[in-house]
């Protein structure tokens, strides 16, 4: 299967009054395959929506080019720009919810009217789209008389009515309650299977992205951090940011001295662990809280239980390691009391470079912390 959405060296800069010049999207290279569900994931301000808006044609590029279904639609160097209505996309954007002054039929028929499709074809295509989104019979009803889930289905019906090859979904489920979100996810995937369109899905919600995506891009402050399958992103995050962003994480800053690993600032007890060959003197060890071995055997890093919290399906302990607090989660059968002595061992943790000071500065500049 070929690439259906291609971004080559795409950059977008904004000049802002309060934050100065911002590189909202910094040299993005993305290839999305035909029929793939690809998510953009990252914290607020990372550049997800700007990228989507450039693909849709609502935003010009500062540099680079975009190709959709083998056709160049935006190119800075060639001064080429195909307007949104000529890009053949289906879109469900949070900001473009359904139109309250139009009934269900007219909401769904709208993109066809813009394309000047004849009335007979409109009737047939709208009926088909309503059937696939379980809205048949509600043609004359106004959106305000319908539930949130039904309103979202109107937006979906309006997006599929032109039979697009590419569907852009920007936080399409964010106004729905958690149960409805989950069932709408399945509906979107079912529609995708039926119509075989390619999806770009933008969300803040990592579990939603993991559930729906074939591959995901994690970005931060306008930079791509990693593109991979949900499983690889979770199991092999390339840096501390991705590790922390997907799933629960716990970190220990360490110093390596004479072939031994110590918690930073506390050289009295070392952590018995294999050091990767490329490690520098200051590193961060990252692991999932449920992947740390916590025992009463005198084996491992000696410490104690600082705090114990009962979670529904596991117990969480905060355990000091040097001056830092490590989060450890165990099944309920492994039980420690407050202040009890314990020993911890790391099971194949990930190693990352110590904190990136430049990233911290940029985060401050963008008023994100
Ligand atoms: P959110 O999840 O909050 O929507 P996002 O990841 O979609 O965030 P963008 O909306 O793409 O992020 O914004 C990326 C950066 O570009 C932010 O720092 C934002 O302030 C800035 N930005 C976006 N649009 C404009 C604009 N029209 N003018 C100036 N700056 C902008």
Instruction: In whole angstroms, give the CA distance from residue 39 to residue 295.
Output: 39
What is the reported pLDDT for 298? 85
50 lines ligand 1 (CB under 6 A): yes
What is the reported pLDDT for 58? 92
Sequential DSSP letters for 117-160: --HHHHHHHHHHHHHHTT-TT-TT--GGGS-HHHHHHHHHHHHH
Is the separation of the CB atoms in 297 and 351 below 8 Å?
no
> Which residue CA neighbors atom 12 of ligand 1 most closely?
45
Which residue out of 7, 45, 46, 219 has the highest number of ligand 1 atoms within 8 Å of its CB and is therefore the one to mutate?
45
Say how many C-beta atoms besides its own lie within 10 A of residue 350's C-beta. Answer: 21
> Is residue 152 very low, low, confident or very high in pLDDT (cuts 50, 70, 90)?
confident
> pLDDT tens for residues 325-340?
999 999 998 899 999 9
44 lines ligand 1 (CB under 6 A): yes
For ligand 1, the distance from its centroid to the CA atom of residue 49, given in whole angstroms, is: 7
> Is residue 366 very low, low, confident or very high in pLDDT (cuts 50, 70, 90)?
low
Instruction: In whole angstroms, give the CA distance from residue 209 to residue 181.
Output: 12
> pLDDT tens for residues 339-353?
999 999 998 899 998
Arithmetic mean of pLDDT, 20-37: 94
Arithmetic mean of pLDDT, 165-170: 92
97: pLDDT strictly greater than 80: no
What is the reported pLDDT for 96? 56
Handedness of CA 166, 170, 171, 173 (dihedral sign): negative
Establish how many alpha carbons lie within 13 A of residue 141's alpha carbon, considering only the half-sphere containing its beta carbon.
Answer: 13
> Which residue CA neighbors atom 19 of ligand 1 most closely?
45
Say how many C-beta atoms besides its own lie within 10 A of residue 166's C-beta. Answer: 21
What percent of the chain is modeled with pLDDT above 90?
66
> Is residue 177 very low, low, confident or very high in pLDDT (cuts 50, 70, 90)?
confident
3: pLDDT strictly greater than 80: yes
SS3 label, residue 304: strand
What is the reported pLDDT for 359? 67
What is the reported pLDDT for 117? 93
For ligand 1, the distance from its centroid to the CA atom of residue 9, given in whole angstroms, is: 19
What is the reported pLDDT for 25? 97
Cβ partners under 8 Å of residue 279, min gap 6: 256, 351
pTM: 0.87
For ligand 1, the distance from its centroid to the CA atom of residue 51, given in whole angstroms, is: 10
Is the separation of the CB atoms in 321 and 284 below 8 Å?
no
- 337's tokens: 């009391």
159 lines ligand 1 (CB under 6 A): no
40: pLDDT strictly greater than 90: yes
Is the separation of the CB atoms in 306 and 319 below 8 Å?
yes
DSSP character at residue 59: S
For ligand 1, the distance from its centroid to the CA atom of residue 264, given in whole angstroms, is: 36
Arithmetic mean of pLDDT, 247-274: 93
52 lines ligand 1 (CB under 6 A): no
203 or 363, higher pLDDT: 203
Which residue segments constitute the domains of the chain, with CATH numbers given? 3-240 (3.40.50.300), 248-353 (2.40.50.140)
């Amino acid at each position: 299967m070929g690439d259906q959405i291609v971004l080559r060296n795409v950059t977008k800069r904004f000049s802002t009054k309060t934050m100065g010049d911002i590189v909202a999207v910094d040299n993005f290279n993305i290839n999305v395959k035909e029929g793939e569900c690809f998510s953009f994931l990252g914290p607020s301000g990372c550049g997800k929506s700007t990228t989507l808006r450039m693909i849709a044609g609502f935003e010009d590029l500062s540099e680079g080019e975009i190709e959709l279904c083998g056709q160049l639609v935006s190119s800075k160097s060639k001064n080429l720009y195909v307007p949104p209505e000529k890009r053949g996309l289906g879109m469900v954007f949070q900001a473009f919810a359904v139109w309250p002054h139009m009934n269900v039929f007219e909401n769904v028929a709208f993109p066809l009217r813009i394309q000047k499709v004849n009335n007979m074809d409109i009737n047939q295509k709208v009926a088909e789209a309503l059937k696939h989104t379980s809205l048949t019979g509600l043609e004359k009803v106004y959106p305000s008389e319908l539930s949130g889930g039904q309103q979202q289905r109107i937006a979906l019906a309006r997006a599929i009515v032109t039979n697009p090859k590419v569907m852009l979904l920007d936080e399409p489920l964010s106004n729905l309650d958690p149960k409805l979100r989950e069932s709408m996810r399945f509906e979107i995937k079912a529609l995708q299977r039926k119509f075989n369109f390619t999806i770009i899905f933008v969300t803040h919600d990592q579990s939603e992205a993991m559930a729906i995506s074939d591959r995901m891009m994690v970005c931060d402050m306008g930079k791509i951090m990693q593109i991979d399958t949900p499983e690889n992103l979770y199991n092999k995050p390339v840096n501390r940011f991705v590790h922390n962003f997907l799933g629960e994480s716990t970190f220990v800053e360490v110093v390596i001295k004479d072939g031994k690993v110590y918690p930073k600032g506390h050289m009295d007890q070392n952590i018995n662990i294999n050091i990767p060959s490329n490690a520098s003197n200051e590193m961060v060890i990252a692991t999932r809280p449920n992947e740390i071995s916590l025992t009463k055997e005198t084996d491992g890093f000696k410490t104690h239980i600082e705090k114990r919290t009962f979670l529904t399906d596991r117990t969480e302990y905060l355990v000091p390691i040097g001056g830092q607090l490590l989060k450890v989660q165990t099944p309920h059968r492994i039980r420690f009391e407050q202040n009890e002595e314990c020993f911890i061992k790391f099971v194949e943790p990930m190693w990352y470079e110590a904190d990136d000071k430049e990233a911290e500065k940029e985060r401050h500049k963008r008023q994100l912390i």
